């Protein structure tokens, strides 16, 4: 499993997960939407921690900088 997420992508995903957690914690989002957003936030957080997004791999995408050999 090769990393396919760059640092900016990881940072944005973590920020989104934190915002969603705060919104759910404050009660601004509740019910079904809270569950859906909570699951998405959890997936964002987990993929950020391992620097790998299965959907990126499926579609052949990568936001990770490729180091060029000299």
Q: Taken in order 17, 22, 25, 30, is the CA torsion positive or negative?
A: negative
What is the predicted pLDDT for the residue at 36? 97
Q: How high is the pLDDT of residue 65?
A: 83
Question: What string of pLDDT tens digits covers the 70 residues of the chain?
Answer: 788 999 999 999 999 999 999 999 999 999 999 999 999 999 999 999 999 999 999 999 999 886 544 4
The CA distance from 31 to 56, in Å, is: 30
Going from the C-alpha of 60 to that of each of 43, 47, 57, the distances in angstroms are 19, 16, 5
Contacts of 28 (CB under 8 A, 6+ apart): none
pLDDT in the model for residue 1 = 79
The reported pTM is 0.84
Contact 41, 20 (CB under 8 A): yes
């Amino acid at each position: 499993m090769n990393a396919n997420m760059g640092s900016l992508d990881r940072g944005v995903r973590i920020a989104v997960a934190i915002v969603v957690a705060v919104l759910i914690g404050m009660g601004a989002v509740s019910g079904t939407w809270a569950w859906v957003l909570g699951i998405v936030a959890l997936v964002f957080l987990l993929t950020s921690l391992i620097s790998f997004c299965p959907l990126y791999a499926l579609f052949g995408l990568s936001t990770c900088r490729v180091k060029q050999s000299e």
